[in-house]
């Protein structure tokens, strides 16, 4: 991985319209991003590829689209209200607030060197690593607050009740109470109308288990898939869209008979790992990492992460393994919890064997934004075209299924009817639903390079021979080879190229 790769990717993402800082003209908002014209296509292609391979090409998976705000009892039953929190710590030296579980580890009692107030020109200080065994990730100080749990769910209120007005009305009562009583009073006022933005899409699939089952299309083993926004008030956000507060998930809950769960867990772990490879991700930058017992979420019997080697900068250098997707064996935890809290029997009756059971669930849970970022990083390449001339091209080697623009169409020159012919080619391709782009400005070589930089797999050029014999050139992004093909039937030609690129 070349030095400064991440910075170059961030620069390209902004310059060519993949990812922008949200509300940039107002100074931006921490860890909030917008997708530009090419980024929205890339992310949409990632989601479409997921839906196509997880739902449309299978007879055992159906889709769902649930609301982001759900009944607050959903989060009581799922354990998110009580347990979905991160350990938060404040650094007393540089004032950074960070997650204890992500902080750099160090031997308790050993010496740690840091700068006063975390400033580069601050006085050099010597401290001791506290018994918790970590230091501040920003300045290295061991002078830290105690850990406190911070719930990651965003709370808002639903309906015409204004909790603020109720709090104002209660101020006199609150004044005479001790801290604990005040907290309870305030919690009861806020709690009357409190609802939460979902922190995962998964719960929508569990609470609709009976609806999907009774609508008659499925029986175990079957899956319910959903793509949609989730929200977490993340303390530590970093590296573009890797960890943000608003993000999209692509999750599937696969309901199976208990006893067959371990087999299905293996199946889905392999299936999901291979999915990234099938979309061209470099195998050496992918791995499956099973969770240690102590890492497992409260609901999981087993979990494995598909990890990608991101080009992130860190104190050890460049590049680090990070989660792309998790595949968990959630057992019957969620269905049983929702049965308990809702009073509804969430089980399956198998008519042939007259057996009733609560299905186990295998959950492949991926992030659309994180996958899009990984595909972008993976596609990035700098290729030496001519060493002597110091000619290096930047190319995004996207799989054709993911490429935002599939075909660029150029007239060789802006005369002799070539622009009209080239526009005709583009219109035909657009009519076929193949995202295409017309460009007539600048030298042809520069136009090819501009398309390489945004990952367009094919460029079509209309030239003098087109006028003579009706053929056009097709230039391949990766090999830079060119071939002549007939102009006639060009829509079908690229439809086939896209189809065969699936492998």
**Where does this chain bind ligand GAP (CB under 6 A)?**
200, 202, 232, 234, 243-244, 247, 249, 251, 323-326, 363, 365-367, 369-370
Residue 39 · residue 13 · CB < 8 Å: yes
Sign of CA dihedral 476, 477, 479, 482: positive
**Which pair of tokens denotes residue 491?**
């829509």
* φ, ψ dihedrals at 78, nearest 5°: -75, -15
CB of 114 or CB of 196, closer to ligand GAP: 196
Q: What's the closest the beta carbon of residue 394 comes to ligand GAP, in angstroms?
A: 26
The Cα–Cα gap between 114 and 408 comes to 53
CB of 86 or CB of 452, closer to ligand GAP: 86
Q: What's the closest the beta carbon of residue 70 comes to ligand GAP, in angstroms?
A: 14
Report CA-CA distances (Å) from 248 to 9, 111, 319, 363.
21, 42, 24, 16
CB of 244 or CB of 269, closer to ligand GAP: 244
* E strand map for 244-285: 246-256
Q: Please name the residue that has the structure tokens 């609470």.
A: 207
Q: What is the CA radius of gyration of the chain?
A: 27
Burial of residue 447, with CB atoms counted within 10 A of its CB: 0-12 exposed, 13-18 middle, 19 or more buried: middle
Q: What's the closest the beta carbon of residue 3 comes to ligand GAP, in angstroms?
A: 26
Q: What's the closest the beta carbon of residue 322 comes to ligand GAP, in angstroms?
A: 9
CB of 212 or CB of 371, closer to ligand GAP: 371
Q: What's the closest the beta carbon of residue 201 comes to ligand GAP, in angstroms?
A: 7
The Cα–Cα gap between 28 and 22 comes to 5
Q: Which residues contact residue 394 at a Cβ distance below 8 angstroms, ignoring those fewer than 6 apart? A: 8, 12, 380, 381, 382, 449, 452, 453
CB of 372 or CB of 473, closer to ligand GAP: 372
By three-state DSSP, how is residue 30 classified?
Answer: coil
CB of 96 or CB of 325, closer to ligand GAP: 325
CB of 365 or CB of 459, closer to ligand GAP: 365
Q: Smallest Cα–Cα separation from 407: which of 424, 387, 430, 375?
A: 430
Q: What's the closest the beta carbon of residue 379 comes to ligand GAP, in angstroms?
A: 18
Q: What's the closest the beta carbon of residue 319 comes to ligand GAP, in angstroms?
A: 18
Q: What's the closest the beta carbon of residue 94 comes to ligand GAP, in angstroms?
A: 24
First to last CA, the chain: 28
CB of 234 or CB of 439, closer to ligand GAP: 234
CB of 370 or CB of 401, closer to ligand GAP: 370
Which residue's CB atom is positioned nearest to ligand GAP?
367
The Cα–Cα gap between 231 and 203 comes to 13
Q: What's the closest the beta carbon of residue 277 comes to ligand GAP, in angstroms?
A: 17
Q: What's the closest the beta carbon of residue 213 comes to ligand GAP, in angstroms?
A: 20
**Which pair of tokens denotes residue 410?**
């150029």
**Which pair of tokens denotes residue 270?**
């392999």
Sign of CA dihedral 254, 54, 64, 232: positive
Residue 95 · residue 137 · CB < 8 Å: no
CB of 72 or CB of 79, closer to ligand GAP: 79
CB of 53 or CB of 452, closer to ligand GAP: 53
The Cα–Cα gap between 493 and 331 comes to 48
Burial of residue 166, with CB atoms counted within 10 A of its CB: 0-12 exposed, 13-18 middle, 19 or more buried: middle
Q: What's the closest the beta carbon of residue 324 comes to ligand GAP, in angstroms?
A: 6
Q: What's the closest the beta carbon of residue 420 comes to ligand GAP, in angstroms?
A: 46
Q: Smallest Cα–Cα separation from 301: which of 333, 331, 256?
A: 331
CB of 335 or CB of 395, closer to ligand GAP: 335
């Amino acid at each position: 991985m070349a030095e400064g790769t991440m910075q170059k990717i961030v620069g390209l993402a902004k310059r060519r319209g993949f990812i922008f800082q949200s509300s940039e003209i107002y100074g931006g908002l921490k860890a909030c991003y917008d997708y530009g014209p090419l980024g929205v296509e890339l992310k949409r292609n990632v989601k479409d590829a997921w839906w196509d391979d997880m739902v449309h090409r299978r007879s055992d998976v159906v889709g769902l689209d649930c609301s982001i705000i759900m009944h607050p009892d959903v989060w009581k039953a799922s354990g998110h209200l009580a347990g979905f929190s991160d350990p938060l710590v404040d650094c007393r030296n540089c004032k950074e607030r960070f997650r204890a579980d992500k902080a750099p580890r160090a031997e308790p009692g050993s010496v740690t060197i840091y700068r006063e107030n975390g400033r580069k020109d601050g006085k050099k200080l010597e401290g001791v690593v506290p018994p918790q065994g970590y230091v501040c990730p920003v300045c290295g100080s061991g002078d830290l607050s105690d850990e406190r749990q911070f719930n990651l769910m965003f709370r808002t209120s639903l309906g015409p009740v204004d909790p603020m007005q109720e709090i104002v009305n209660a101020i006199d009562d609150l004044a005479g109470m001790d801290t604990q009583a005040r907290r309870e009073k305030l919690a009861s006022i806020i709690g009357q109308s409190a609802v939460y933005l979902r922190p995962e899409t998964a719960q929508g699939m569990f609470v609709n288990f009976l609806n999907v089952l009774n609508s008659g299309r499925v029986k175990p083993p079957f899956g319910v898939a959903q793509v949609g926004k989730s929200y977490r008030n993340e303390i530590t956000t970093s590296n573009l869209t890797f960890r943000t507060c608003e993000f999209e998930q692509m999750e599937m809950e696969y309901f199976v008979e208990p006893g067959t769960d371990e087999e299905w867990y293996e199946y889905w772990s392999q299936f999901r790992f291979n999915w990234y490879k099938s979309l061209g991700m470099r195998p050496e930058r992918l791995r499956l990492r099973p969770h240690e017992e102590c890492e497992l979420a409260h609901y999981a019997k087993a979990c494995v992460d598909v990890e990608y080697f991101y080009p992130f900068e860190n104190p050890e250098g460049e590049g680090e393994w990070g989660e792309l997707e998790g595949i968990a064996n959630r057992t019957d935890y969620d269905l049983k919890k929702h049965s308990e809290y809702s009073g509804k029997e969430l089980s399956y009756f198998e008519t042939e064997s007259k057996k009733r059971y609560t299905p186990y669930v295998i959950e492949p849970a991926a992030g659309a934004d994180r996958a899009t970022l990984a595909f972008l990083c993976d596609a990035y390449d700098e290729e030496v075209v001519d060493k002597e001339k110091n000619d290096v091209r930047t190319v995004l080697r996207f799989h054709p299924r993911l490429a935002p623009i599939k075909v660029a169409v150029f007239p060789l020159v802006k005369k002799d009817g070539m622009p009209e012919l080239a526009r005709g080619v583009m219109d035909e391709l657009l009519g076929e639903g193949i995202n295409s782009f017309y460009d007539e400005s600048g030298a042809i070589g520069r136009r090819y390079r501009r398309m390489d930089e945004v990952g367009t797999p094919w460029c079509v050029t209309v030239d003098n021979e087109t006028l003579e014999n009706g053929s056009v050139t097709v230039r391949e992004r990766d090999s830079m080879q060119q071939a002549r093909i007939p102009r006639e039937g060009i829509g079908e030609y690229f439809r086939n190229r896209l189809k065969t690129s699936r492998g």
